[in-house]
Amino acid sequence: MTEIFPLPDESEETVGHRADAVVVGAGIAGLSTGLFLRRRTGGRIVVIDSGTPGCGASGHGSGIIRVHNSDLDEMLLAESGARVFRNWTEVIGGADVFSRRGVLWLVGTGDVETLTRNVRAQKTLGLSAELLGPRDVAVLVPGIRVGDLGGAAYDPDGGTVIGPDVMNALAVQALAEGVELRTFEPVRRLLTRGGAVAGVETDAGVVDAPTVVVAAGAWTRNVLLTAGVDLPIQAVRATIGTVYAPPSLREAPAVFDEVNDASYVPKQNGTAVISARARRTPWPP
Ligand SMILES: Cc1cc2nc3c(=O)[nH]c(=O)nc-3n(C[C@H](O)[C@H](O)[C@H](O)COP(=O)(O)OP(=O)(O)OC[C@H]3O[C@@H](n4cnc5c(N)ncnc54)[C@H](O)[C@@H]3O)c2cc1C
């Protein structure tokens, strides 16, 4: 790689400008990377966000923690993530953030065969999964209409989290363990020296680091472009809303409905997040 943005002269730098690693973005990916880097290396780890922890997708998602998928590798990856949420206090620290209410993945009659295959694969991996028929689903979700339903994959160990709570808990833990968190400080560009990334430049100045992790979510492409790397990430805008959950559905599993391209995600605070993926549009437009 060519030296696109050379660092300022060495003599201009101070120790305060140096870190062992810089993480760009304080979403779930960036903050957890920062926390585990700190635990493993004990070094000076700086996490920088243009806003606050969780101001991106991590604080605005539906919060479904599920493992069921059509891809084996993704199932294993999802399981290792879900294990963190299920054992939050031991793995991260602080109070539990996870509600184990189960997750249902609903499909139409034409997709039952594929669903059956995926559930079987999930079980082969030793992961909890059940194949349910429409009547079973109607018992788990009072009032649901199952007329056009073929079947469902049920993750009994799946559940929900509240995004902003997770991000607050993670930020508190990361700070307590010595991660340096800098907010409202956009990273303007990656710095390179001798063909390697050597730090970042923010509105507040330069941070020199031999390791830079770009975890800027939907903005990752823009950040990488400043070092001449074009990673073809295409973001989409999704529409979700929060409602008060009807009392009869407060304890129900989270439901992802492939038939109607929608989801219903009850939360431990009496609300529910509803979504309709049909309205997804490329972002930026
Ligand atoms: C509507 C919706 C529903 C979802 N539902 C689920 C779900 O049910 N289950 C599930 O597992 N996942 C869900 N997701 C996906 C999940 O939210 C994301 O995969 C996850 O939050 C991505 O985390 P991240 O840390 O990569 O990105 P983000 O949380 O977006 O974090 C990126 C951070 O980088 C910062 N940043 C950007 N540019 C810069 C810069 N130049 N300098 C400094 N900081 C910068 C941003 O401010 C932001 O805080 C959903 C997402 C959406 C949008």
Superfamily of domain 10-58+165-225 in CATH is: FAD/NAD(P)-binding domain (3.50.50.60)
Q: d(Cα 62, Cα 162) in Å, to the nearest integer?
A: 8
Least confident of 87-91, 97-101, 235-239: 235-239
Measured in Å, residue 54 CA sits from the centre of ligand 1 at 7
Q: What angle do CA 50, 213, 63 make, to 5 degrees?
A: 65
Q: What angle do CA 72, 75, 80 make, to 5 degrees?
A: 135
The pTM (predicted TM-score) of the whole model is 0.91
Query: Quick one: how far is CA 46 from the chain centroid?
Result: 20
Could you give the 3-state DSSP secondary structure of residue 23? strand
Of 263, 270, 262, 269, give the one whose Cα is nearest residue 245.
270
How confident is the model at residue 59, as a pLDDT? 96
**pLDDT digit string (tens) for 102-124?**
999 999 999 999 999 999 999 99
**pLDDT digit string (tens) for 180-192?**
999 999 999 999 9
More confident residue, 261 or 98: 98
Measured in Å, residue 248 CA sits from the centre of ligand 1 at 31
Ligand 1 is surrounded, with C-beta below 6 A, by: 24-30, 48-51, 55-58, 60-64, 186-187, 215-219, 223, 238, 240
For ligand 1, mutation pick of 50, 68, 103, 184 (most atoms within 8 Å of CB): 50
Measured in Å, residue 50 CA sits from the centre of ligand 1 at 13
Least confident of 9-18, 44-53, 65-74, 250-259: 9-18
Per-domain boundaries in the chain: 10-58+165-225, 98-160+236-283
Protein residue closest via CA to atom 51 of ligand 1: 61
For ligand 1, mutation pick of 32, 35, 58 (most atoms within 8 Å of CB): 58
Percent of the chain past pLDDT 70, that is, above it, reads 93
Could you give the 3-state DSSP secondary structure of residue 214? strand
Whether 10-58+165-225 shares its CATH topology with 98-160+236-283 is answered no
Q: CB count, 10 Å around CB of 73? A: 8
**What value does the mean pLDDT of the chain take?**
92
Closest atom of ligand 1 to CA, residue 81:
11
The burial class, CB within 10 Å (0-12 / 13-18 / 19+), for 272 is buried
Q: d(Cα 226, Cα 192) in Å, to the nearest integer?
A: 10
**pLDDT digit string (tens) for 240-265?**
999 999 999 999 999 999 988 899 99
Query: Using the 8-state DSSP alphabet, how is residue 260 labeled?
Result: T
Q: Which CATH architecture is the domain 98-160+236-283 placed in? A: 2-Layer Sandwich (3.30)
Protein residue closest via CA to atom 9 of ligand 1: 64
